[in-house]
Amino acid sequence: MTFAIICSGQGNQHRDMFALTADSAKASHLFASATMLLNGIDPRGMVKREAGNEVFENRTAQILCTLQTLAAINELHASIPPRTVYAGYSVGEVAAWGAAGVFRHIDTLKLVARRAELMSAASVTGDGLVFIRGLPYVTVRRLCEKHGGDISIINPRDAFVVGGGQAFLAAVMQAATDAHAARVSRLPVEVASHTPFLSKVSMRFRSVLEGQRKTYPPPAGARLISGIDGASVSGLNSGLDKLAAQISHTVRWADNLQACVENGATAFLELGPGHALSEMAATSFPNVPSRCLEDFKTMDGAKSWISKWASR
């Protein structure tokens, strides 16, 4: 049996996102580190306040979502079977490298904070992302080319995230609606992630990664999936190249899910926040059990579920 851990990106932060991890003694050092990165504000209190767009600000969001992944993996570590496959959605890919043990967890939080700073510095007001469902790839590609943006993420079943500047976002939303897309919505993200708008950021972040302490190959035979092509990471330098390139290249999440299954995954667990990835996995592979951490009322319940499938 091979397990797949899928690590969420930003956009689904909510007041109860730390419900199963907030009181974890094993993760207390991570919450302390995140508090320092958030200018002394405890992330557990921050999300409870529901203070407008505070938790969706780019740097804050990337820290919060990575913190949830790492806090969860600290609690679940002893239950995770060997040869687990790790894949991450957007910033979740950096979190996946931390969860798999390549980066130290404290360092992973600092990495995503720096990643976000570089992305925000290269962006202007109005940059962002739009979700489109129900149009074929060729149509979405044509709309992006016509209006001056790019496809940011390819999800399963004709679902896409597109990114660009303010004028592009307004134009593509109207064009997709006119083309009878099933759903069109602006996402609470302030940068044009995974598009050429951030090509210089990829180069700068690669330099940051170069100076980072690493453990490779990952412990316990863990395997990593590259976001931009769905390939297994087969070498440290090439993997880091792709991890940095992901900031300015399309994330092929549908291929990532396929790669998990092709690597032998017989169950998916999304660490959150939210359940978007586990729902995509369940829809794409209905015969493969797929859950998110938020499905469980206790961490023990999650551990029991993992043990059930790990023993098969």
Give the residue-averaged pLDDT of 207-215. Answer: 96
Give the residue-averaged pLDDT of 117-146. Answer: 98
Judge if 2-122+196-310 and 128-186 fold alike in CATH terms. Answer: no
Give the residue-averaged pLDDT of 45-50. Answer: 86
State yes or no: pLDDT of 1 exceeds 90.
no
How far is Cα 109 from Cα 252, in angstroms, rounded to an integer?
24
State yes or no: pLDDT of 236 exceeds 90.
yes
At 308, the pLDDT band (50, 70, 90 cuts) reads confident
End-to-end alpha carbon distance in the chain:
6
At 25, the pLDDT band (50, 70, 90 cuts) reads very high
At 50, the pLDDT band (50, 70, 90 cuts) reads low
User: Could you tell me the two tokens for 92?
Assistant: 């979740």
Task: Please choose, from the candidates 268, 259, 196, the residue with its C-alpha nearest in 3D space to the C-alpha of residue 233.
Answer: 259
Q: What is the DSSP letter of 220?
A: G
How far is Cα 157 from Cα 197, in angstroms, rounded to an integer?
26
CATH architecture classification, 128-186: 2-Layer Sandwich (3.30)
- Condensed to tens digits (0 to 9), the pLDDT of residues 54-103 reads 899 999 999 999 999 999 999 999 999 999 999 999 999 999 999 999 99
CATH class of 2-122+196-310: alpha beta
- Tell me the pTM: 0.97
- pLDDT at site 128: 97
Q: Domain residue spans in the chain?
A: 2-122+196-310, 128-186
- pLDDT at site 283: 97
User: Could you tell me the two tokens for 255?
Assistant: 């291929």
- pLDDT at site 53: 79
Query: What mean pLDDT value characterizes the chain?
Result: 96
State yes or no: pLDDT of 311 exceeds 70.
no
- pLDDT at site 52: 62
